[in-house]
Amino acid sequence: MPKVLNVEESKRIIPHYESALKIALRSDCKEAQFGAVIFHKESVLAEGVNHIAEAFSGKECSLDCPRRRMPQLRGGVGAELCIATHAEEEAVNNFRNLPERPGREIEENSLMVVARLKERRQVLPDTIAYVRCTLCAKKLNETNLAGILFPKSDAGGITFSYFTRKEFAVLSAKNLAEKWIELFPFLAASKP
Please check the confidence at residue 17 and state whether its pLDDT lies above 70: yes
Calculate mean pLDDT across residues 103-127. 83
Q: How is residue 2 annotated by DSSP?
A: P
Task: Identify the pLDDT of residue 89.
Answer: 92
Task: Identify the pLDDT of residue 164.
Answer: 92
Please check the confidence at residue 20 and state whether its pLDDT lies above 70: yes
Contacting residues for 17 by C-beta, under 8 A, at least 6 apart = 37, 113, 115, 149, 151, 158, 160
Q: What is the pTM of this model?
A: 0.86
Please check the confidence at residue 14 and state whether its pLDDT lies above 60: yes
Q: What percent of the chain has pLDDT over 70?
A: 78
Domains and CATH numbers, the chain: 3-189 (3.40.140.10)
Cβ distance 160 to 131 under 8 Å?
no
Task: Identify the pLDDT of residue 76.
Answer: 67
Backbone angles phi, psi at 121, to 5 degrees: -115, 145
Q: Are strands 43-49 and 33-40 parallel, antiparallel or unpaired?
A: antiparallel
Calculate mean pLDDT across residues 60-75. 65
Stated as kind and residue range, the H or E segment containing 100 is none
Per-residue pLDDT reduced to its tens digit, 81-106: 677 788 999 999 999 999 887 888 88
